[in-house]
Structure 1
């Protein structure tokens, strides 16, 4: 049993129940919330290791909830956040990643895929790693490591004392070196190979 804590936020109670049951059976401690205000309150209390967050909710959109979770209690949650949504277009996905999400799952989804993605972002069932030489510079690894912890470009830039454009340049180099197209893939490849 994992014992890791996951906060699941969705206003659709059927989806909430399905995800809760699957993650509980996988050994996680699950806390659920059906609205943004409840998510912020419960997130402050349970201090989750990962958050699954619906984007379209009646009281606040997931992006607003994400920002409130990150801000409270100071310094806010630093765990990975995965957006769950019916939005399938690339603009919404990119906005989610710009906001700092580590992954973006579109509805409808296969529950086994959702559980697998949760395990990846919690570093569970990891391959032993180290089979490939590390093509990343130390600075590129630092950027990917911070992004893996849900930091935004602005937060990464501040933490590493770089400009946001320099952070983007490092990430562009990472994408090319790892032959990936987004930050989630960069994080997964880097973790799978033991580079971060």
Structure 2
């Protein structure tokens, strides 16, 4: 595992060397710079996990360097920036906080405190990054037209995407702390949930007779074990009588369609005839036919029925 990289900017050579030695013994990799100019050169070559910076330096001081980085190197904004200073006055700290500093350490350096501070700041960044990744994963699930419910090892719902929540509302399925249904459906669903959440089964499927609608539920444990967000198993829900077409913007991006072509493809997938598409868009049927030929070429289909089947078979919303 690659050790965290610390950039230490300090104009006093002996202190700079001492910091590098102490952090090296603690398991960190350290790159050093004697002033802001040298630090900017280091940052062009490598990306540290944390920056230690003296405030009083010749040329550009620590406050000016931080202000420059916050505007010119926004890609580094999530990297903790810690000031090293012999001045611990209230005014100095307020000024540094306003500039965007994450923390302070006063001189002479307490190396136990320095190691604890660095460890705490790096842990904080790791937690925030983990939360961002989980949030991004949840957002991606919300783009699926197939319902997805993630369960923890106890069978409790960790996340239900947009399609699952909407399908649950239409069919009377409950998506609270647990996914439940009435009567015999509820008993079958509870058994399936318990089996896959515990990891004792490889996967199973069942039909829920939700009133006049039938819902297909597929369940499987996550092979790699509980994920970072606690998910241990996944249920997918689909309604074979209700297939949703991709939106025009997604069609445009997937098949490199023009905005007009994407709108034509979407209307065709919704079941509109060519004359109805023309009326909806305020163009002639000949124009719609022209756009359809382009759409067929870009999607690799030959007929309108093939195009509709392609769009409805794709699970992205």
TM-score bucket (shorter structure) = 0.5 to 0.7
- Per-residue deviation at 1:18? 0.7
What is the rounded CA distance, in whole Å, between the counterparts of 2:18 and 2:121 in structure 1? 20
Aligned to 2:39: 39
Higher strand share: 2
- Per-residue deviation at 1:71? 3.5
Aligned to 2:287: none
- 8 Å Cα contact 1:2/1:27 also seen in 2: no
- Per-residue deviation at 1:74? 5.3
Aligned residues: 125
Largest Rg, 1 or 2: 2
Residues 95 and 89 (structure 1 numbering): CA distance in 2 closer, same or farther, change over 3 Å? same
- Per-residue deviation at 1:115? 1.1
Residues 58 and 115 (structure 1 numbering): CA distance in 2 closer, same or farther, change over 3 Å? same
Deviations 1:39-64 (A, max 9, x none): 11112221111000100001111011
What is the rounded CA distance, in whole Å, between the counterparts of 1:2 and 1:111 in structure 2? 22
Aligned to 1:28: 28
- Per-residue deviation at 1:109? 2.1
Aligned to 2:3: 3
- 8 Å Cα contact 1:9/1:35 also seen in 2: yes
The correspondence of residues 1-196 of structure 1 with structure 2, limited to 5 A, is: 3-73=3-73, 75-123=75-123
- Per-residue deviation at 1:106? 0.9
What is the rounded CA distance, in whole Å, between the counterparts of 2:68 and 2:42 in structure 1? 12
Unaligned runs of 5+ in 2: 127-317
Unaligned runs of 5+ in 1: 127-196
- 8 Å Cα contact 1:71/1:77 also seen in 2: no
RMSD: 2.0
With CA pairs under 8 Å and 6+ residues apart, which has the higher RCO, 1 or 2? Answer: 1
- 8 Å Cα contact 1:52/1:83 also seen in 2: yes
Q: Helix, strand or coil: the match of 2:53? A: strand
TM-score by length of 1: 0.59
Residues 91 and 2 (structure 1 numbering): CA distance in 2 closer, same or farther, change over 3 Å? farther
- Per-residue deviation at 1:77? 4.5
- Per-residue deviation at 1:2? 6.1
Deviations 1:163-189 (A, max 9, x none): xxxxxxxxxxxxxxxxxxxxxxxxxxx
